[in-house]
């Protein structure tokens, strides 16, 4: 029987486990930083990945079990080799919090050789070379985590050629004259100049905005301008709702399909604009060429940061451990059980909590836990169970298709970016606003066709400017009416407040508009080569202006109950100006609760 080698290295680090976690558990970056060659995924079966090193002459191929981890204290992996000098390798990395506030990092490796080359490779390659490399990299990560620097600070360098530098600077000057934000462009230049390829494979504008300390919408809009100018390229990533990895990557919105398949999870799922379609960017090859397919690890905890722990528990056994949670809702699942257990993490939650997988299934009610709970996973079944705790909130740093397509600047710059004809994509929640001019026919009669037409056109300009300023977009105009979309209800209220005040300031007689606003799910379609919305939410919003007498906004209970809307109205609306009424809408069976306010 082949000898099993065991190595254990211990490092005392200054940063806390949670500060180190995003670096240490990013094995894609760690393998790159420790000089391992790139990898290639060959296939997936029952969640086990067949992988090989992308190196010439020598065939090194293995089956990789899913990672196990517990944020921010531990992760491990098992590889069974089908070709090459090794038979098996296991890795276990643990981060223990020290009383000093630092971390004791223990990294262990167990490796079994296949032949004499494997013996030498393990003894020399792991025992000597890897030990020195790991020590250097872990201390580098510690310095970065202690300073609070972003992950791309690990491997900074000079990554822009002289031609790339020149093209960026020329395009940057052009963009500035067109209104692009100078601070964003300056930060983008430094990022493209210094960040490594792994960091620029999927540039997420909201995440970069947070790192740079700049407004998210400003960064996103600048990235859209940079894409139009040829500085960046835009992609639409379709994310799996289970693992939240990239199931498919599309260069055009017209290539996006409503149905998709995740090879990792082996599930079919539907696309949703505000849940699992994320817009990302890469540098245009004329500025900087990037290999977006290079990988040094095909799986790691950082590929699924929404999963707090993923732990395997054998039959009739239990596993106790501690973890850290953010306040909010979670979902616990076990691989062999249907359904899930809802969990609520809050400061006053239970410090110790048992979760049991058995024939009875999960509790119907939501169980509470503290933000630093001690958890015991109990497997009362006759098969091995993989327990996973998932944060139910999708990353708020994702710029979704819903975020992008409701921006006026996207509609202006990328009017050809539409779904293919006949394709329908769901949107979980959208704010839709319909407006119509009051007594526009009488206006033409009173002041004449030409002046009246000018006033009507001016009203469209005012509307578009106010809608765009609040992050919305004009979807279409219909005679004197306008349909607009926003991501947040309060944005629609703010915009129409500005519009009516501006209309009253310009011209005699002053124009007044009738407004209807509703919030809810709908579908996005291609109508006359533009993105449009359909569904009950659209139908309700379109009918609401009929209840307005002019200079009034009529909105649904979904808008009225939004906390940001309530806060805005409390500060800006006249006392007792908000009134509730019930009315029947054509095409709907039951009366609706509606609200009226003078704007």
Instruction: Return the domain boundaries, the chain.
Output: 5-153, 162-301, 307-391, 406-598
Q: How far apart are CA 579 and CA 513, in angstroms?
A: 18
- Is the pTM higher than 0.85? The answer reads yes
Q: Is the peptide bond before 509 cis (omega within 30 degrees of 0)?
A: yes
CATH classification number, 5-153, choose in 3.10.129.10, 3.10.180.10, 3.40.109.10, 3.30.530.20: 3.30.530.20
Q: C-alpha angle with apex 293: 287 to 296, nearest 5 degrees?
A: 115
Strand pairing class (513-526; 552-556): parallel
Which CATH number is associated with domain 406-598? 3.30.70.1230
- Write the CB contacts of 8 (distance below 8 Å, at least 6 apart in sequence): 106, 107, 108
Please give the pLDDT value at position 336.
85
Please give the pLDDT value at position 449.
67
- Among 83, 127, 93, 113, CA closest to 23: 93
Q: How far apart are CA 259 and CA 253, in angstroms?
A: 14
* More confident of the two residues 187 and 46: 187
Q: How far apart are CA 346 and CA 172, in angstroms?
A: 46
Lowest mean pLDDT, pick from 86-100, 146-160, 288-302, 389-403: 146-160
Please give the pLDDT value at position 455.
76
SS3 label, residue 142: helix
Q: pLDDT tens digit string along 514-551?
A: 999 999 999 999 998 899 999 999 999 999 999 998 88
Q: How far apart are CA 194 and CA 196, in angstroms?
A: 7
Q: How far apart are CA 65 and CA 384, in angstroms?
A: 14
Reported residue count of the chain is: 599
**In the predicted structure, residue 589 carries a pLDDT above the cut 80:** no
**In the predicted structure, residue 503 carries a pLDDT above the cut 70:** yes
Chain centre distance of CA 45 = 27
Q: C-alpha angle with apex 394: 556 to 531, nearest 5 degrees?
A: 55
SS3 label, residue 220: helix
Chain centre distance of CA 132 = 36
């Amino acid at each position: 029987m082949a000898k099993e080698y065991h190595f254990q290295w211990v490092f005392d680090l200054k940063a806390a486990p949670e500060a180190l976690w995003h670096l240490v558990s990013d094995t894609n970056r760690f393998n790159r930083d420790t000089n391992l060659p790139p990898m290639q995924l060959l296939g997936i079966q029952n969640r086990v990945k067949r992988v090989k090193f992308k190196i010439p002459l020598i065939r090194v191929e293995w089956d990789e079990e899913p990672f196990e981890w517990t944020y921010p204290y531990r992760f491990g992996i098992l590889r069974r080799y089908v070709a090459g000098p090794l038979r098996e390798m296991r890795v276990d990395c643990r981060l223990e919090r020290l009383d000093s506030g630092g971390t004791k990092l223990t990294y262990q490796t167990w490796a079994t050789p296949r032949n004499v080359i494997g013996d030498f490779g393990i003894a020399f390659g792991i025992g000597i070379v890897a030990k020195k490399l790991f020590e250097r990299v872990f201390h580098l990560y510690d310095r970065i985590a202690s300073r609070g620097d972003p992950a791309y600070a690990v491997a900074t360098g000079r990554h822009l050629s002289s031609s790339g530098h020149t093209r960026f600077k020329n395009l940057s000057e052009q963009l500035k004259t067109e209104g692009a934000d100078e601070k964003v462009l300056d930060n983008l230049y430094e990022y493209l100049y210094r960040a490594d390829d792994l960091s620029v494979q999927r540039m997420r504008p909201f995440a970069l905005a947070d790192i740079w300390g700049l407004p998210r919408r400003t960064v996103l809009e600048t990235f859209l301008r940079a894409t139009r100018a040829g500085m960046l390229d835009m992609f639409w990533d379709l994310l799996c709702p289970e693992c939240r990895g990239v199931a498919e990557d599309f260069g055009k919105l017209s290539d996006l399909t409503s149905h998709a398949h995740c090879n990792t999870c082996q599930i079919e799922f539907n696309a949703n604009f505000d849940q699992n379609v994320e817009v990302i960017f890469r540098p245009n090859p004329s500025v900087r060429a990037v290999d977006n397919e290079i990988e040094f690890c095909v799986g790691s905890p950082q590929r699924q940061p929404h999963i707090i722990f993923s732990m395997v528990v054998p039959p009739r056994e239990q596993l106790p451990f501690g973890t850290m949670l953010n306040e909010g809702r979670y979902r616990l699942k076990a691989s062999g059980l249907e359904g899930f257990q809802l969990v609520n993490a809050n400061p006053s939650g239970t410090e110790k909590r048992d979760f049991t997988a058995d024939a009875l299934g999960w509790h119907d009610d939501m169980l509470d836990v503290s933000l630093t709970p001690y958890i015991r996973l109990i497997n009362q079944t006759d098969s091995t169970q993989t327990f996973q705790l998932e944060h139910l909130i999708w990353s708020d740093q994702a710029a979704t298709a819903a975020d992008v397509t409701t921006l006026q600047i996207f509609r202006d710059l990328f009017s050809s970016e539409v779904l293919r004809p006949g394709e329908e994509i769901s949107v979980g929640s959208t704010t839709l606003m319909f407006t119509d001019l009051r007594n526009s026919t009488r206006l033409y009669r009173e002041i004449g066709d030409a002046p009246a037409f000018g006033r009507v056109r001016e009203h469209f300009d005012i509307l578009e400017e106010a809608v765009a300023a609040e992050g919305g977009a004009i979807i279409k105009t219909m005679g004197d009416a306008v349909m607009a979309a926003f991501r947040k209800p309060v944005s629609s209220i703010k915009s129409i407040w500005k519009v009516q005040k501006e209309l009253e300031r310009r011209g005699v007689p002053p124009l007044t508009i009738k407004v209807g606003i509703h919030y809810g799910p709908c579908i996005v379609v291609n109508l006359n080569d533009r993105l449009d919305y359909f569904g009950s939410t659209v139908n309700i919003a379109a009918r609401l202006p009929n209840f307005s007498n002019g200079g009034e906004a009529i909105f649904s209970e979904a808008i009225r109950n939004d906390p940001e809307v309530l806060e805005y109205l409390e500060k800006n609306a006249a006392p007792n100006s908000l009134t509730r009424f019930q009315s029947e809408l054509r095409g709907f069976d039951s009366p609706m609760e509606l609200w009226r306010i003078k704007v």
